Amino acid sequence: MAEADSSDRIARARRLLAHADSVAVLTGAGISAESGVPTFRGSGGLWSRQRMEDVATPAGFARDPVKVWRFHNELRIELERIAPNAAHLALARLERAVLGRGGRFALATQNIDGLHQAAGSRGVLELHGSLTAVRCTGCDYREDVGFRPLGPRPTCPDCGKWLRPDVVWFGETLGPDVWAAAVRAARSCQVFLSVGTSALVYPAAGLIEIALSEGPGRGRRHLETSAGTIEVNLEPTPASGKVDVALHGRAGHILPQIVA
């Protein structure tokens, strides 16, 4: 992309965000990459080290819970020492600016690393759960245990059954309330911003399509209106050709430029 072109896109994205009364954001692993969190599908990504089927599905947990806990304990140790990066901080600033002018703001993340909250974002919709939370496989015990490793066989203090990470594995449904809130935001926002996601995992990636068909991208492709859809991602994704402004590069470099 020519430099002039990218500065033009940056300016268009800035204009959209600066005047928006309601903003909805979807983030994925790419927004945490510059904090040192490995993404899933990039080179060196988590899925190149472990098979998704073994460590992020109910069947994998049933087959070998010790392996799943080894994977999650390693992730917990890695995540304990990471900090939010400029992209997370820019989104927290954007939220304060939109709320400060009486607007509405929603941030739905696919990430389980808690970095948006650490950056000061409020009301984060954790679509895929949180790595700091565990729940029991046999009763309704649930606890936020932070990032400390939990040993190879964490069991429930109430009923003695296996504990599991309180995350959404493949084949599991998302929390109905958090999903409904994310859909409402994608439908009603004036500007939809997708950051650091390969837009491959559903239903989360479907939020982009909802924004395009029922939200700000509905029916219009020109930008005279103050509504629109923006993508910030290192590489092109299936959404890149459909959004109004596609910005390819590092979120930590681009977001601070488009958030006033």
Which pair of structure tokens corresponds to residue 227?
A: 């509504």
Which of 59, 139, 180, 260 binds Zn ion (CB under 5 A)? It is: 139
Report how many residues bind ligand BV8 under the rule CB under 6 A: 34
68 to 30, 43, 52, 61, 231: CA distances (angstroms): 23, 22, 10, 6, 33
- Tell me which of ligand BV8, Zn ion, none is bound by residue 202, counting a contact when its beta carbon lies within the kind-specific cut-off of 5 to 8 angstroms: ligand BV8
Binding segment for ligand BV8 (CB under 6 A), chosen from 15-23, 141-149, 176-184, 227-235, is: 227-235
Q: Tokens in use for 25?
A: 């954001």
Residue with tokens 């493949």: 170
Regarding 170 and contact with ligand BV8 (CB under 6 A), the answer is yes
Longest dimension (CA), the chain: 62
Residue whose Cβ sits closest to ligand BV8: 30
Q: Which does 237 bind (CB under 5 to 8 A by kind): ligand BV8, Zn ion, none?
A: ligand BV8
If one asks whether residue 35 binds ligand BV8 (CB under 6 A), the answer comes out as no
Q: Is 32 within 8 Å of 113 (Cβ atoms)?
A: yes
* Token pair of 151 as six digits: 């040993």
Q: Which residue has the tokens 């409020």?
A: 122
The span from the CA of 246 to the CA of 194, in Å, is 9
Candidates 14-22, 86-94, 155-163, 167-175 — which segment interacts with Zn ion by CB under 5 A?
155-163
Neighbours of 90 (CB within 10 A): 23
Candidates 116, 128, 222, 253; catalytic one: 128
CB under 8 Å to 60, separation ≥6 — which residues? 51, 53, 54, 67, 68, 169
162 is an interface residue for Zn ion by CB under 5 A:
no
Between residues 64 and 158, which has the closer beta carbon with respect to ligand BV8?
A: 64
**22 binding ligand BV8? (CB under 6 A):** no
Pick the closer one to ligand BV8 by CB: 25 or 227. Answer: 25
41 binds ligand BV8 (CB under 6 A): yes
Does residue 167 belong to the site contacting ligand BV8 (CB under 6 A)?
Answer: yes
Assess 200 for contact with Zn ion (CB under 5 A). no
Q: Which stretch binds ligand BV8 (CB under 6 A): 9-17, 34-42, 62-70, 143-151?
A: 34-42
How many other C-beta atoms lie within 10 A of the C-beta of residue 93? 17
Binder among 33, 124, 186, 212 for ligand BV8 (CB under 6 A): 33
Task: Verify binding: residue 157, Zn ion, rule CB under 5 A.
Answer: no
Residue type, 150: L
Q: Which does 138 bind (CB under 5 to 8 A by kind): Zn ion, ligand BV8, none?
A: Zn ion
Residue with the two structure tokens 């995350």: 167
